[in-house]
Amino acid sequence: MSTEVMLCGIPLSNPVIGASGTFGYGEEYAALYDINCLGSFSFKGTTLHPREGNPSPRVAECPSGMLNAVGLQNPGIDRVISEELPKIAGYFDKPLMANVSGFSLDEYVQLCEKLDSQPQVGWLEVNISCPNIRGGGMVFGTSRQAAGAVTRAIRRVTGKPLIIKLSPNVTDITGIARTCEAEGADGLTLINTLLGMRLDLKTREPVLKNRTGGLSGPAIFPVALQMVYQVYKAVRIPLVGAGGVSCAEDVLEMMLAGATAVQVGSANLVNPYACRDIIESLPEAMAAYKIQNLREIIGGAH
């Protein structure tokens, strides 16, 4: 029974990847269990300059999920390279996925140029779909022209596998996916969070200081699954499925829809052992559905 997959030319021992925004730089989870059991993890969304993020409150609970408007709080790329990457090397010995977000084309290019020389980084996961920041993020992910321009510019400055993280908050995700592929993307992550809101009945104001936030958790799994299924038919590059994955059966569904690898996000915030538990239960789930090799089921629902 084999759980190994190949993502953009880099082998993974299993398809489970800790999702950016929920896995930090891995340190907190490494204190609980050996995170080398993961296929990989995508580290905290990183920008060119340090960011304190959005004002609080910036997290709100909702049925079957949560809203977040953290706003890419991070120490900036230079400190990530000088401080975080050396620390990660002490507890994780597999290729990392580096998640980056910019507020301009030039920022995306500078970020990826800096990371191109980092041997720990296996893949660049370029976030053009964050709904919680103004003047960047999702602005690039809702237009084919903008998404194509970002992909094309980054492709010129890096030889690392380039994975573009797409927004579900669009009319036609397949058109944007095709454009990214045509401009040199090696893979796509889908989906990022859906825009959402909660109101406080006592104050009659939004619960989140940012007013809106990104909805994640089990509530969005069917949406993510449908978009993976839809995009798989539209492109030839590998997909990373993300959105509401919380068990081994969800991983299998995502792979049948067309995902080569699967990110686990909000489930980590509910159960910090979620990734480990999913990986450990994968063989049993595979046996239950008579699956011998995970690579053979990718896109199997088509």
Task: Write out the E strands in 131-285.
Answer: 162-165, 187-190, 194-196, 199-200, 205-206, 213-216, 239-242, 259-264
Provide the 8-state DSSP code for 81.
I
Provide the 8-state DSSP code for 218.
G
The strand order across the sheet containing 194-196 reads 59-62, 65-68, 213-216, 194-196
Instruction: For residue 80, give the 3-state DSSP assignment.
Output: helix
Which amino acid would we find at residue 87?
K
37 included as an active-site residue? no
Residue 31, judged by CB atoms within 10 A of its CB (0-12, 13-18, 19+), counts as exposed
CA 72, 132, 146, 188 dihedral sign is: positive
74 vs 300: CA distance, rounded Å: 38
Pick the catalytic residue: 8, 112, 130, 180? 130
Q: Taking the CB of residue 230, how many other CB atoms lie within 10 A of it?
A: 16
The angle at the Cα of 219, spanning 27 to 234, to the nearest 5 degrees, equals: 90
Start-end of H helices in 92-247: 105-116, 138-141, 144-155, 173-182, 221-232
Two structure tokens written together for 156: 């010129």
Provide the 8-state DSSP code for 135.
S
Two structure tokens written together for 93: 């010995």
Please give the positions annotated as active site. 130
